[in-house]
Amino acid sequence: MPDRPDTTSEDTPMDTRFDMFGNELALRFAKRFANAGQVIHSSTLPKSTQELVSLRASQINGCGWCIDMHTKEATADGESPVRLNLVAAWREATVFTEAEQAALALAEEGTRLADAHPGVSDETWAQVREHYDDDQIAALVALVALINAANRLAVIAHQRGGSYEPGMFAAALA
């Protein structure tokens, strides 16, 4: 199916509303936001888990820019297309480890707070504790919070997916 542009109620294409990299204040914020992400990226939480979690939260939040970015970054890091294609249906897939499943469950429950979800269940938390050490859990919790904030920034500004190239975000903030 061909790409369909986002549309307004009048069915006209929506452009990016605001260039977060073209405004001095927004760029200063983005650099600090990215620095917070560096703490997570340099943690012992596996990079593949970080990308899977970011992708799943972005899917739930409907953030095309972040879905595009995390899919392409994961691919550049060697993630398989099969696993990336199955993230949205991870419970019905055989390609994720128990640790990854625990992280994906945490991502979903932590992302769906506004959907009258009771938060992260004790069962999910126990699964996370079983597979990750304290530093990895700190990184995982921070990652879920950070990707949800990034999704909101991009969705509000109508930052659309499709044009991202691996490394582009890091280069824009350098």
What is the C-alpha separation between 77 and 49, in angstroms, rounded? 12
Closest CA to 40 of 165, 155, 145, 148: 145
Is 10 part of a structural domain of the chain?
Answer: no
Is 99 part of a structural domain of the chain?
Answer: yes
Is 11 part of a structural domain of the chain?
Answer: no
Closest CA to 110 of 98, 97, 120: 120
Is 71 part of a structural domain of the chain?
Answer: yes
| Domain range for 134 | 24-173
Domain containing residue 147: CATH number = 1.20.1290.10
- Any bridge partners for residue 7, and if so which? 13
Highest mean pLDDT among 15-24, 52-61, 151-160: 52-61
Is 92 part of a structural domain of the chain?
Answer: yes
Is 32 part of a structural domain of the chain?
Answer: yes
Looking at residues 78-107, what average pLDDT do you find? 98
Structural tokens at position 28: 């200063």
Number of structural domains found in the chain: 1
Is 16 part of a structural domain of the chain?
Answer: no
Q: Give the pLDDT of residue 14.
A: 60
Instruction: Decide if pLDDT at 3 tops 50.
Output: no
Q: Per residue in 35-62, pLDDT tens?
A: 999 999 999 999 999 999 999 999 999 9
Is 4 part of a structural domain of the chain?
Answer: no
What is the C-alpha separation between 36 and 94, in angstroms, rounded? 33
Number of H helices, E strands in the chain: 8, 0
Q: Give the pLDDT of residue 170.
A: 79
Burial class (CB in 10 A: 0-12, 13-18, 19+), 162: exposed
> Are the C-beta atoms of 128 and 102 separated by less than 8 Å?
yes
